[in-house]
Amino acid sequence: MGTVQAAEEVSTQTITFEDGTTANILVDNASTRVVEAKDDSNIYIATNDKQTNNITIETYDLERNLLSTEVLDGNQIPTEENDYNLDNLPFEEIQISEEDILFENVMPLAAQSNYKLLQTVNLQEAYGYWIYSTNQGEIWMIKLRTGEMKSTFYKGDNKTHFNDFKRSVDNFMASKNQLVAKVGTGILTTIATLYLVPEPVWTKIVATLITIVGAAIAYAECKAMFDAYSNSRLYYSRVVQ
């Protein structure tokens, strides 16, 4: 006689979202949740080990040949957004050259120039915008992900592109904040890992996040974040240094 597995240990459920994306919850029990999602190019299987909080993401081709495996450490402490506060630094009047207007030079320069941070909105200092005032006008620095950044004066056609980028970041962060309010800050590291990559894949994102949160939340906030980040990538490409 074959072994019958308890119904509460395995749950198979197919979810179809408004955009046509389909995800299958293959396993959902006290220790594990496994979700599979498929697009025109790949199959993604995400496994959340609820005991260790680690998530394993396997990428297959459409013939189910394993292409890659990655593990997200769910115990990594998320880094909160950093609101650089330069108000107490000893600013002095100096001239700023175009060559100085580089993201990596801003913090050292801030301590010896009249750079003053007006506003920043960012995710773990890896994605967002930083707006500085100087004696020569505003300098905007935008960051798409670690190692991908631009900075220049706020003028000309770049004004429109900067504003568009800022709006997309604000939209992303608003949806992120709604998600964090529902599930906690522990999801921040997963968000950064999934979204802040050269080519974010919605199918992979939705498979992974459904192992953590409910499908409705995964689609509402997480799809809004994906759309906002896609817009950020477009507007970032239009900014000329």
| Statement: residue 87 has pLDDT above 50 | no
pLDDT band at residue 76 using 50, 70 and 90 as cut-offs: low
pLDDT the model gives residue 11 = 53
Least confident stretch, 26-40, 102-116, 134-148, 191-205: 102-116
pLDDT tens-digit series, residues 202-240: 999 999 999 998 888 888 899 999 999 999 999 999 999
Instruction: Name the pTM for this structure.
Output: 0.80
Cα torsion at 153, 155, 160, 164 (round to 10°)? 20
Assigned token pair, 181: 């309010």
pLDDT band at residue 19 using 50, 70 and 90 as cut-offs: confident
pLDDT tens-digit series, residues 151-164: 999 999 999 999 99
